[in-house]
Structure 1
């Protein structure tokens, strides 16, 4: 989950989605239909507005448009502005024909009635990992599909670990021991993003979930043990106190600068790591014991078909979404964007073609959708989690009290 574009929207904007009524029948204001009813253009809204993502997604949208005989008119907005713009468009009856959403936001938007089920257009949902379908589902209907997805894993500096005679840790005890041994001078052993945003929650989830913790109630021994691990790493100096303010990009900068030997991060950092010439490796996130299985959160964006009221254009829009999700296009985009195809067969082929990212392929296969259990209530739980993390890591409360207080908050 890249900063912002791989994570959640501002909670206030999301909350508005449930309160603004949408009157959508006959509301298309995007044009693109001729007098004969033939669709000649489709409007698309997404937040891939920078660098490689902007180019790759644009190329594939154009390719899918050409394959279906329509021109793609694409609008790009900053990630933080997307939901607010969608709400405004819904109110003014100018929703785009194809809408991209960060997967945790789909529930809130689908709940307003702004989206149409993809199965209404004959789009197959076969062959996707469970977490991918969970992320695109609202009330048992699939409203969005993600061509590629991502998650997070353990990155380590091979040179630093080799010199210390350390192999990547697989358990929490090994992580604590190794991180302490790798901490010296200005170099920390381990780093995470523990800031007070959904991104901080995203990074904590593998530790909580893999230990049996659950977002429905974070005031449990399992989640306390996970938070105690992070807190102990800060207390003993193996992890910088500054992690409470770092973004994932900051963590990556620390890693590239040699100021941390290991970090939790995602595959979107790989281009920068390659440019830096750091000799890095990727491994599974450590779990409490060897009998536990790493459970990672699913990142990535879903493509949807809004209810614009123009049935002809909605059908063509669905063809664009379907095209973006073909195995061939998933694989092509994944290789160019350092993400993982969401269809299992395509992901397996990706692992063969790009063995350096096999760890992410393995994690995505069993990754969990953040909204899988709580749906529209996920943002509330995410806020409670990062609030507890902040309280504990800054020493304001013990891990147990931090989780108790956060769980009881509104």
Structure 2
């Protein structure tokens, strides 16, 4: 009798273990009690972007009876750290919306699922610009796709400027002619943050240089361009303290005739200065036009529900819905299929930004982004207010960046 009781208890323990294991497996696959697959989507959006995303998620859930998507807001400043923690513990969200320049870092960190086969079979990348494709791939494999893009360009007051400058010589000359007692010819953020880096680095790239050769004569000429305009008071002394939104205020209040600004700043200009006459152009070049790409991408968490998650990605990238998304959020497409539509081609500002995005590039600094970013904006500040020449400032930055690049 005692032996039978022990055997019975043992069977119960084994059966309980099996049931718990099955239950755990079900949870890892995102199954809910009503038989649906529940997908967790992490994002850092607020305001209009968040409300627009919620609208699309609600629409998706209503039209997909076996899938439910739940949104989880994670502040931008915390997203990367939370994803790294999740990757270590095997607890990642099914879907991730994050910065377009973070895709490669996330992929290398084991956060993202390889979706190359899905992308290839869907044809989603066929009309995508090559520069956009590259920042979504690691070792030839896709780890995400862009939801939208944006970039920086030259904004100019059309009451003062009929034809915008196309090269550095024209930019300097025009800035000098337009500078008065109450107005600066040119404005760009030289802030000690990402704002300063994003505003200046297109000038660096325009020379054909990059952060790996900051001591080259070409790189030095890019910083010297800003240094000269700053010293000649063609730029306000306050640009070293101003973020992009502050530069925008200078522009739409008439304190600056031209500025380096982002496409996301357009709604603010229209709201705050509806009577201002303005337009945009490519950033004046040295050798080639360039800009820095921005925007957000969507990806699947490694080891998560790939099939169901891919359905949502396809849903979001369906051409008509993508067009609606871009209109609602004020962003730009990542390929010619949508960029060639009348909405972008028949409006000069939208057409220009669509063109700028073709020649834009991502940082590609991955896990070293903060260190490289800091070295770049510090060099800008050193040259403008720190007493260093452009050559000295970039040598200091190079001493920081070169060992980082050599390790990777």
TM-score by length of 2: 0.84
**Using the alignment, how far apart are the partners of 1:34 and 1:75 within structure 2?**
17
Q: Which runs of 5+ in 2 are unaligned?
A: 1-23, 404-408
**Using the alignment, how far apart are the partners of 1:48 and 1:319 within structure 2?**
21
**Using the alignment, how far apart are the partners of 1:105 and 1:78 within structure 2?**
15
**Using the alignment, how far apart are the partners of 2:127 and 2:357 within structure 1?**
14
Query: In the TM superposition, what whole-angstrom CA distance separates every residue of 1:277-319 from its partner, at most 9, and x where no partner exists?
Result: 122111111113xxx3311121111101002x44xx3211122
Q: For this pair of structures, how many residues does the alignment match? A: 371
Equivalence for 1:3: none
Equivalence for 2:38: 41
Select 2:109's aligned residue among 102, 112, 134: 112
1:298-317 matches, within 5 Å, as: 298-307=293-302, 309-310=303-304, 313-317=305-309
Query: In the TM superposition, what whole-angstrom CA distance separates every residue of 1:347-386 from its partner, at most 9, and x where no partner exists?
Result: 1214225443111111112221221xx5554544333322
Equivalence for 2:339: 347
Alpha carbons of structure 1 residues 92 and 354: separation in structure 2 relative to 1, 3 Å:
farther
Equivalence for 2:319: 327
Equivalence for 1:146: 146
**Using the alignment, how far apart are the partners of 1:136 and 1:88 within structure 2?**
22
Alpha carbons of structure 1 residues 263 and 356: separation in structure 2 relative to 1, 3 Å:
same
1:43-58 matches, within 5 Å, as: 43-50=40-47, 52-58=48-54
Deviation of the 1:259 alpha carbon = 1.3
Deviation of the 1:93 alpha carbon = 3.8
3-state SS of 1:72 partner? strand
Equivalence for 1:370: 363
TM-score by length of 1: 0.84
Comparing 258-267 with 174-183, which one deviates more in the overlay? 174-183
Deviation of the 1:138 alpha carbon = 1.9
Matched, 1:218 2:191: no
1:73-88 matches, within 5 Å, as: 73-88=70-85
Select 1:403's aligned residue among 390, 394, 407: 394
Query: In the TM superposition, what whole-angstrom CA distance separates every residue of 1:26-64 from its partner, at most 9, and x where no partner exists?
Result: 99967741469x5443211111112x2222222233334
Q: Which protein is bigger by CA-based radius of gyration?
A: 2
**Using the alignment, how far apart are the partners of 1:128 and 1:262 within structure 2?**
31
Query: In the TM superposition, what whole-angstrom CA distance separates every residue of 1:155-182 from its partner, at most 9, and x where no partner exists?
Result: 11222x15xxx53222211211211222
Contact 1:347 1:361 (8 Å CA) reproduced:
yes
Deviation of the 1:239 alpha carbon = 0.4
**Using the alignment, how far apart are the partners of 1:194 and 1:342 within structure 2?**
28
Matched, 1:336 2:332: no
Equivalence for 1:22: none
Alpha carbons of structure 1 residues 185 and 170: separation in structure 2 relative to 1, 3 Å:
same
Equivalence for 2:377: 386
Alpha carbons of structure 1 residues 68 and 103: separation in structure 2 relative to 1, 3 Å:
same
Q: Which runs of 5+ in 1 are unaligned?
A: 1-25
Equivalence for 2:135: 135
**Using the alignment, how far apart are the partners of 1:190 and 1:256 within structure 2?**
13
Higher helix share goes to which structure?
Answer: 2
